[in-house]
Amino acid sequence: MFFFTVLLRKRGAIVKMDALMSLIEDARRKLNDTAESKSLTDPEIVNMSQCLDRLLNEYYLMKELGSLAS
């Protein structure tokens, strides 16, 4: 897998794109695991899905900014 070197500044911490991808993979895995035992409309599932959406939005924004910088 190709890892981006673009840095993400979030809440004072700098996270490389590969670390962001790791967060996305973990969030997706937890969401899928939890969704096996709960309704998709359960507030916990909805919250987890929204968190994953935010991570994905950050990823695509950073990817776009990285491609604009090149």
Query: Which CATH number does the domain housing residue 24 bear?
Result: 4.10.280
* pTM of the model as a whole: 0.73
Within a domain: residue 41? yes
Q: What share of the chain is helix, strand, coil (3-state, %, to 5)?
A: 65, 10, 25
Confidence of residue 64 (pLDDT cuts 50, 70, 90): confident
With respect to residue 35, please indicate whether it lies within any of the assigned structural domains: yes
Q: Do the domain assignments include residue 1?
A: no
Q: What are phi and psi of 39, to 5 degrees?
A: -70, 145
Number of domains the chain contains: 1
Total Cβ atoms within 10 A of residue 55: 18
φ, ψ dihedrals at 67, nearest 5°: -75, -30
Whether 2 maps to a domain, the answer reads: no
Q: Considering the domain boundaries, does residue 20 fall inside one?
A: yes
Nearest residue to 29 (alpha-carbon basis) of 52, 11, 12:
52
pLDDT value at 6 more than 80: no
Give me the domain span that covers residue 32: 7-69
Residue 39 lies in a domain: yes
What's the pLDDT tens digit per position in 29-60? 999 999 999 999 999 999 999 999 999 998 88
